[in-house]
Structures are given as C-alpha cells and as structure tokens.
Chain A
Amino acid sequence: GENVEQHPSTLSVQEGDSAVIKCTYSDSASNYFPWYKQELGKRPQLIIDIRSNVGEKKDQRIAVTLNKTAKHFSLHITETQPEDSAVYFCPPRYSTLTFGKGTMLLVSP
C-alpha cells in the first residue's frame, strides 16, 4: 500500500510569514494529491488538490507543488493569517491507510 510521510508535525509562524508543509509518498502510480484543512472542532475540508500531469497549482494564498521524480508534494501558504491555524492533512490513496495526525499549523498574530 501507499506510504506517506508528512512534515513537520507542528509548525508555528508569525502572521504574515509563509508556511510550507511537505508530504513524501512511495507509490509511483499515485496520480492525485489533495490537501485537507481541519479547524478545531470542525470537519476536514479539501482546500486544494493537484493531478500528476500538473506541477503546480495556485489558489489565492495557497499553492501546491508536485515533484514526481522525488515523490513529494508540498503545500505553500503565503501571508499567513490567524484563521489559517488548523491541522492540515495530505492523505494517501483511499485504501488501507489513514489521514494520520497531520500537521498542526499555529499562526500567531
């Protein structure tokens, strides 16, 4: 099955700074790379995703980059705001594995 490692487990930044979270995967056949955000007490929600035929995708302050050679994809958040504080997940393919504990991002005002 797919193995995914997410780093870091926690990330603290000052408001206005950039944040980068990285996921490394093992299955070369992977072709769908989503990022989910879960605010405290709420449900996970998809914030951005990318397919394997695209190297980068942007949506306002967030972007995802994919490096298929190195088998990793990253979430980039620029000009962070306190409301970006949440847990972020990069789940592997649906079967057998989990979202895990994700990365807790704390943005301090």
Chain B
Amino acid sequence: DAGVIQSPRHEVTEMGQEVTLRCKPISGHNSLFWYRQTMMRGLELLIYFNNNVPIDDSGMPEDRFSAKMPNASFSTLKIQPSEPRDSAVYFCASSFEGDQPQHFGDGTRLSIL
C-alpha cells in the first residue's frame, strides 16, 4: 500500500498566486481530512469529507480556501489568492471511517512570499 500521497511536497510562490494542493487517499478509505500545521496554532482540521461529501468545513479559514473531492481517490485544497500568512505545512489524512485511525501523507510545505 502506497499510503496517502500528497503533491507537491514543497511549494514556494508569490502572494496573490493560486495554489493547489493534491491528495490521493488510501484505496478503500472513505474519510478524508485536510489539516494545516503552524507553530502558532498547532495542527488544525480544515475540512473533513466522508464518501466524497464535505461534512465539516468549519475549520476553513476564509473564502480564499476551497476544497473538493470529485471522486474517492482524489482531493484538492485550493487557495486563491494566496497570502504570506497561509505559509504552513498542509497535511492530508484518510481513514476507513471517521472514528478509525487516520493515515497521514507526508505533507506539503507551502511558503508564500
């Protein structure tokens, strides 16, 4: 099993640009989570999907952030326009159900200049 796959691993871009982060969950898992990690705020849940449907997006910071899950094997997190305060490590995780162990990807380290 390849685990949760995230791309890109690193992204450096200028403020105002659109950023798209991608995630492929573990095959057979029906829950997918997007997290953001910073020193100040720790590891925050941004949005949670179950069976490709967004269940809880209360952690999404503002309208500049959007997430989609068009099918069971792919999800994107988009930031448009990006700002320096969006700089963080973004993790994607998946699980068989919501109350099962979550498997994390290696994260995307995002730097907005």
Contact = CB atoms under 8 A, between A and B. Distances in A.
Same complex origin of A and B? yes
Interface of A: 31-32, 34, 36, 38, 42-46, 49, 89, 93-102
Contacts of B61: none
A94 B98 contact: yes
A99 B43 contact: yes
A32 to B, nearest CB: 4
Contacts, number: 63
Interface residues of B, number: 26
B75 interface: no
Contact of B43 (A49, A94, A96, A100): A100
A99 B45 contact: yes
Nearest to B105: A43
Contacts of B43: 38, 44, 89, 98-102
Contacts of A102: 42-43
Given A100-B42, A101-B41, 10 more contacts: A43-B91, A43-B105, A43-B107, A44-B102, A93-B98, A94-B48, A94-B102, A95-B98, A100-B43, A102-B42
Nearest to A43: B104
A45 B41 CA distance: 19
Nearest to B44: A98
Contacts of B100: 32
B70 interface: no
5 contacts: A32-B100, A94-B99, A95-B48, A96-B56, A98-B59
- Name A's interface SS: loop
B45 A43 contact: no
A105 to B, nearest CB: 15
B106 interface: yes
A-B complex: 5 closest residue pairs judged by Cβ atoms: A101-B42, A99-B43, A43-B104, A98-B44, A32-B99
A30 to B, nearest CB: 9
A95 B35 CA distance: 12
